[in-house]
Every structure is written in structure tokens, then in C-alpha cells.
Structure 1
Amino acid sequence: MPRKLVLIIDDDYRNIFALKAVLRAKGFGTLSAPSAQEGFDIMAENEKISVVLMDMMMPDMDGYQAIGVMKKSQKMRDIPVLAVTAQAMVGDKERCLRAGASGYVSKPVNIDELIIQIQEVTSKK
């Protein structure tokens, strides 16, 4: 039985594939969605999700908007979100945290840092 269930929301299947492979190797369960709306649908059906890895740059609804929707939802607001983004400029991390993310990981993802952040945000739940 997986320790924790991670939902990856990213419009790039290569990112989903790579993250799933690494997380599974580390003993995590994984689910994925190529859009924020599909991610919301998965969260509505599955109460065991420990954390969401949210791509911040997606075409239909970006991660900032998606986190806003989650924080307004009774069912989703307590699920921690880690912003996973190629945006690594000064101020981007703060912008993600202000939007409601519990943590921030820049791409290319440092797996050790990602695992540490997942453990930190899920231990607070």
C-alpha cells in the first residue's frame, strides 16, 4: 500500500511520466491529470489524495487560478499544493505561495527537494 497518494496536474505528459516514475520508485501512489479541471474531478472522487503537484503554466486554467478554485472549495481547500514550475525568476516562488501553494519546486525538478517538500506538507495534515 502506497504511503501517500500524489496527484500530478500538468499539461505536459513528459513531466507526468517522469514524476510518476520517480515518485512510484520512492513508494508513493500517483494519479495524474492533464488539466486543472480534470484534476478537480479526480479530487472530487478520491479523498485519499495527500498532496497535489501543480504545474503553474497550463493553457486553459493556470496553476494560480486552479489553486484559487481549490482554496474556495470545501472539499479541496485542505489538500496541500506544491507549485511545480519552470518559472524560477525572482519573485515567482513568493507569487506561488501568495496564491495559496504550500511549497514551490522549480523545473527541472530536484527530486530530493521534491520528496522533502511532499513529506513536510503532508505531515502537517
Structure 2
Amino acid sequence: MSVPTVPSVPSSTPAPAGLTAPFDGRQIDPRTQVPGPRRRRTGVVLTVVLSVATLIAAVVVAALAFLGGTTSVPAASVGEQLSRQFGAPVSCTEDLPAKVGATTMCTGTDDQGVHHVLVTATSVDGSQVGFTGTVQD
């Protein structure tokens, strides 16, 4: 039985494009590393960029939520301001939401008795909330 042999390619024949090994029958040094095809890193780069963008967006949203303004006016603050306005003690049990048109009910006391005071938010400018109090009875 005979072993088939591969004929050697004459050295004048150029090597196929992209291959760096010689085809003239010479031995290749096993320590030589033939570079493989260039790997694309588009997926890795895109993942890193999107991760950083998401992190930045989360920090911005959290900062805006934290610093973005008042969500409500404390009940004690509303009561104090109405007490100065009416010249009689006014107490509130619920905070006034910082939204134009939002309402809460407070109680005022004077020499004629106890009165209900409807408090309505009239303006919101950052952390400043304007409101009015109207005696209901």
C-alpha cells in the first residue's frame, strides 16, 4: 500500500491572500503564532457605552427627584402661615401637596368658635408653594 503524497507548490506561486504560512514545503516554526482574523469588538464597546449611559441617566433622574422641588408643604408650616394671616390659631393635620389646585382642610379657632379652613395651592415655583385659606363656616 502506498501513501499518497501532496505535490509541493513551486515557490514562484504566490500564497493565497490572508495566509502567512509558506507553501513551498518548508517547515513552520511551531513557536510562530499566525494571527487569526481580527475580532470585532463592536458588541463589547456598545454594551459598555449603553451601561455607562444608563448609569448616568439613573443618577440624573435620582438627582432631579431629590432636588427637583418640594412634593408637599408640611401641615405645621401651612398652619403657622394661616395663623399669621388670620390672626388666630390654625392647625392642619395633612400636608398640602405641591400641585396647583391641590387642597387640604385645616381647623381655625377664634372667639366665635371652631372653623374649617379650606387651603388651596395656587402656585408652585420650584420649592415655593403659594396657597390661600378660605373659612368654610
Higher percent of residues as helix = 1
Higher percent of residues as strand = 2
Q: Which has the higher contact order (CA 8 A, sep 6+)?
A: 1
Identify the TM-score tier after normalising by the shorter chain: under 0.3
**TM-score normalised by L of structure 2:** 0.23
The structure with more radius of gyration: 2
**TM-score normalised by L of structure 1:** 0.25
